[in-house]
Structure 1
Amino acid sequence: MIRNLTEWDEDDKGDAEDEYEALRRSLSWTEGFGLLFVDCTPATAEKLIKDVRKDLPQKRIEVLRLTEPIENLYTKIAALPNRDSIDILFVQGLEYSIYDYEKTIKDNTERRNYSLFFVPRLLGHLNLQRESFRDHFNICFVFLLPKFALTYFNRRAPDFFDWRSGLFKLEPQGEFALAELSQGEDEFWFNQGYQQAMAGDLVDAIVCWEKALDIAPDSHAAWYNRGLALFKLGRLEEAIASYDNALQFKPDDPEAWNNRGIALRKLGRFEEAIASYDKALQFKPDQDEAWNNRGIALRKLGRLEEAIISCNKALEIKPDYDNAFYNKACYLALQNQINLALENLQQAIALNSDEYREMAKTDSDFDNLRHDPRFQALIQEDRD
């Protein structure tokens, strides 16, 4: 059994941990006024608040959770009864004001007059009131926002946003694409879909992207995201069709070709999958995941020598690619190249012991070396 562990999400845990540590240090050092912004989903925001409370018990921490649109954040904070005793104030939910503004614009019959220079009232107030925040609040503000809202701040509240002392990204960069702000009315539905997808609501995300496509049928990103969501829901044929539409408008997108290949492989259409991976590699020859995926499809066709070559290409590009080592071990074992198979399995286990040791125990690809003492030693749990 050959498994690709990186089909749908890269392991960015290390990066997220580093970002959290940097944020924690910044919060521990900051005294008095400060502005920090954090790119995160609501679920990650809740965990972040809990972790900071635990790690910085000496700080007086409060949370302002907004659940509906507002026009003036300053007055909200000024009304807090304990504002003079707060060291750190987490602010959640400002994106509701942005969504509400976008929806109002979308529904406005004068949409033709829409401009990026238009600013939601909330952000306009923040631009004008930044000195008041500094002069009147001895607080370190931490704004917890999804990527779409951060982009909005950057574009339409630059006077306030540029005062930030830190921008932290706690969300792994997921596979879904986020639209650049544009003047088209599809922007609102596209980014609504993105937020739904990040929250795990894939069906609603697809509905939003389809509404965006009703307005802008040539949106590569909307077709691409729709394909990803359909794949996750197991609707593979629809996913492939969505990727095909994305590629019609951006034929040199290696990620779309690679993901299309994965869907084809899941359907057992291995020759087509290989052709799709080859297109991905035509546009991005150093795409290690496409080389690894190509090897998996070749193995399914019994073309083991070519599969090994594909693994080697992946490992040339990414020498610590644990899944490529594991898959290569499988292909070598099927060729009865016992010593080389064991060497590659050992590499995979060294890089990811829990995952690959457990997989190898039941993987039928290793049946012809299962009784080899060296194999048995590799799959045994480490003993201190």
Structure 2
Amino acid sequence: MREEQPLTAAESYQALLRSLRRKNGFNLLFVRCSPVQADEIIRGVSQDLPNKNIQVLQLDSETDNLYEKIVDLPNYTNLNILFVRGLENALLRYEEAESEGYFLLSQSPVYGGTWAGVPKILGYLNLSRERFERQFPFTLVFLLPEFALRYFIRRASDFFDWYSGVYEFPTDKDILHREIRRLVYLDGDLDTYQQFTPQQRQEKLAEIKAYLSDSPSLDPVQASELWHEKGLIHQMGKEYEEAIASYDQALEFKPDYPDAWNNRGVALYNLGRFEEAIASYDRALEFKPDYHQAWFIRGVALNNLRRFEEAIASYDRALEFKPDYHQAWYNRGIALGNLGRFEQAIASYDRALEIKPDYPVAWDNRGYVLTCMGRYKDALESCDRAIKINSNDANAYYNKACCYGLQNNVELAIENLQRAISLDVEYQDMAKTDKDFEQIRGDERFQSLLS
């Protein structure tokens, strides 16, 4: 006997196409494929069956009732084919909650979590299969990754039993490579997810988790990239411990991954674990000595430890590789100011402002240093530049108040301090002990403002 060979992706597509071409009325098809393959399948079927009325329904993690989603579609009764995507988002949201809420010994062998309960979306499907058949005179095609298909078979068996066919699209190396590229932003930039809503971040996490569990064929580089991406998403959600755990997983697969070491350092920094953060940046720099961002954030961590000379040396290395790095010039100015090297600090702020003239914190800190030097007119002009750029810069108003306080100008000191306090009440407590207000502290108006 000859062992039957699995179908290629092209053969699976042709089988699916034949089925969709001849089917009428209610039918239920399941397609195991990656999201990249799902895009290609939808595009191919739309081109190859131009006479069919085709729509795509994209589900998100909050979807509980598929029936309601379908009846909300315009002219759904005129459909021939409805592709349903994203069911795995709702399943993984449920699996997350189930795994976090209970400690159960019975776990799914691939994803983790449990097989104990049934998510709402599948529970509704089990109870609604006759209604689906009566109400939807078209072919429903579920496009699912392997994890979601297994989940569906096991926990929505009453509904799944009605299937007209299951089509499996093997994930070859080319598809796998494209899938990783779709999931991963390789620049390691934390800003990538700043515009994401919490729900979007959770859906991206769910997709990456499903892919990690469903793709044993991942090579170490691909696995490390996915774990790194998972860490970035956690980091943007301020889930720093989870981010560190993900970076550690990435580094198990690829110990020489500088972005993972660097971003691990950022997460540690945000937890206030500065020494550990510096060690992580140092590992990143072992593998990428010209990594200007790692040199820079390493300097910020050293600044927090008040190791100012070392911080300046770190900023200098960052600037060696990226001379127009305005944040490095700015933070270098802070370290120099903390050492009392005011002229050099101003020179550093000036370099930052040459590169980015609309940088309010640099104008503000420059004003602070000029105040320390007794150059009050220049200091006030610098603070005013900060306020012109950002009218809600509470610190600039506070520094102006300090400058006027040192000149014994009670009215303008109180006016600017009042403005700072109105923007941020913390400045009220700060002013109570600030030596810059010693000359006006006895004034009743000043005391009234602080109380």
Length-normalised TM-score, structure 2:
0.51
Aligned match for 1:318, one of 390, 412, 415: 390
Question: How far, CA to CA, are the matches of 1:73 and 1:318 in structure 2?
Answer: 53
Aligned equivalent of 2:89 = 35
Q: Which has the higher contact order (CA 8 A, sep 6+)?
A: 1
* Kept in 2: contact 1:74–1:129 (CA 8 A): no
Deviates more, 1:268-277 or 1:367-376: 367-376
Which residue is 1:75 aligned to?
110
Change (3 A) 1:365 1:199: closer
1:80 counterpart letter in structure 2:
T
2:295 is the counterpart of 1:223: yes
Partner of 1:62: 98
In the alignment, structure 2 segments of 5+ residues that lack a partner are 1-59, 66-86, 102-106, 122-143, 157-198, 213-220, 227-232, 241-246
Determine the structure 2 residue equivalent to 1:11.
Answer: none
Structure 1 residue 343: Cα displacement: 0.9
CA distance in 2, matches of 1:281, 1:329: 23
Say which of 214, 238, 243 aligns to 1:171.
238
* Per-residue deviation, 1:82: 2.7
Contact 1:336 1:368 in 2 (8 A): yes
The residue type equivalent to 2:110 in the other structure is T
Task: Describe the shift of the 1:75–1:302 C-alpha distance in structure 2 as closer, same or farther (beyond 3 A).
Answer: same
Q: Tell me what 2:359 maps to.
A: 287
Q: Aligned-pair distance for 1:191?
A: 3.6
Structure 1 equivalent of residue 345 of structure 2: 273
Q: Provide the rounded CA distance (Å) in 2 between the counterparts of 1:86 and 1:142.
A: 22
Mean Cα displacement is larger for which, 371-380 or 301-310?
Answer: 371-380
Deviations 1:244-274 (A, max 9, x none): 0000111111111111111111111111111
Aligned to 2:284: 212
Helix, strand or coil: the match of 2:89?
A: strand
- Write out aligned runs for 1:127-276 (5 A): 128-132=146-150, 143=202, 169-171=236-238, 185-276=257-348
Larger Rg belongs to: 2
Matched letter for residue 283 of structure 2: K
Separation in 1, partners of 2:239, 2:349: 24
Give the C-alpha shift of residue 61 in structure 1. Answer: 4.0
CA shift at 1:284, angstroms? 0.7
Unaligned runs of 5+ in 1: 1-25, 37-48, 50-59, 66-71, 88-125, 160-165, 174-178
User: CA–CA distance in 2 between the matches of 1:358 and 1:297?
Assistant: 22
1:277·1:290 contact (CA, 8 Å) conserved in 2? Answer: yes
What code does the residue aligned with 2:89 have?
A: L
Q: Which residue of 2 aligns with 1:371?
A: 442
Residue deviations 1:142-194 (CA, integer Å, cap 9, x gap):
85999xx89x99x96999xxxxxx99943399xxxxx9x9x974344334433
**In the TM superposition, what is the alpha-carbon distance from 1:313 to its structure 2 partner?**
0.5
Equivalent position SS for 1:75: coil
User: Partners in 1 of 2:372 and 2:200 — Cα distance?
Assistant: 54
Checking the alignment, whether the CA contact within 8 Å between 1:35 and 1:141 is kept in structure 2 is no
Quick one: distance in 2 between partners of 1:187 and 1:321? 33
Change (3 A) 1:258 1:130: farther
